[in-house]
Amino acid sequence: MWHYKTVLFFVFLQACASKQPAQQVILAKPSLQQYAWHEQERLMFIHFGMATWQGREYDNFSMDLSRINPYKLNTDDWCKVAQSFGAKQIIFVAKHVGGFCWWPTATTDYNVSHTPWKGGKGDLVAEVAASCKKYGLKLGLYLYPGDDKWGAGLGSGGRTSDPSKQEAYNKIYRRQLTELLTNYGVITEVWFDGNCVIDVKDILEKYAKEAVIFQSPQASIRWVGNEEGYAPYPAWNGINRSDLQTGVATAVQGDPDGDAWAPLECDVPLYNHNWFWSPSNEVKRRSVGDLMKIYYRSAGRGAVMLLNATPDTLGVIPRGDVTRFAELGKEIERRFSSPLKSVTDIKGNEAIITFDTPTTVNHLVTMEDYREGERIRAYNLEGWVNDHWELLYAGSSVGRMKIDFFKGVTVTKIRIQITKSAAQPLIRSFAAFKIENTPELFEKDEKPLSDWKYLNSWMPDMFHQGKMDININLTPYILFPGQYEIKINPGDQEKMSVERAELWYDGEKALDEFLMLKDSLVLINRTAQVTNETSILIKLTLSAKDSIKGSGSIYFRKIP
Query: What is the pTM (predicted TM-score) of this model?
Result: 0.91
- For residue 389, give every residue at least 6 positions away whose Cβ sits within 8 Å of its Cβ, in sequence order, or none: 382, 383, 415
* Eight-state DSSP code of residue 452: P
Cα 34 to Cα 28, 38, 40, 237, 264: the distances in Å are 12, 6, 10, 11, 11
Q: Length of the chain in residues, anyone?
A: 560
pLDDT tens digit sequence for 191-218: 999 999 999 999 999 999 999 999 999 9
Above pLDDT 90, what percent of the chain? 77
Amino acid type, 77: D
DSSP 8-state secondary structure symbol assigned to residue 460: G
Q: What is the pLDDT of residues 291-344, one digit of tens each?
A: 999 999 999 999 999 999 999 999 999 999 999 999 999 999 999 999 999 999
pLDDT score of 13: 39
The β-bridge relationship of strands 376-385 and 402-421 is: antiparallel
Question: Domains in the chain and their CATH numbers?
Answer: 32-336 (3.20.20.80), 341-433 (2.60.120.260), 453-559 (2.60.40)
Mean pLDDT of 161-187: 98
Residues of the chain above pLDDT 70, percent: 92
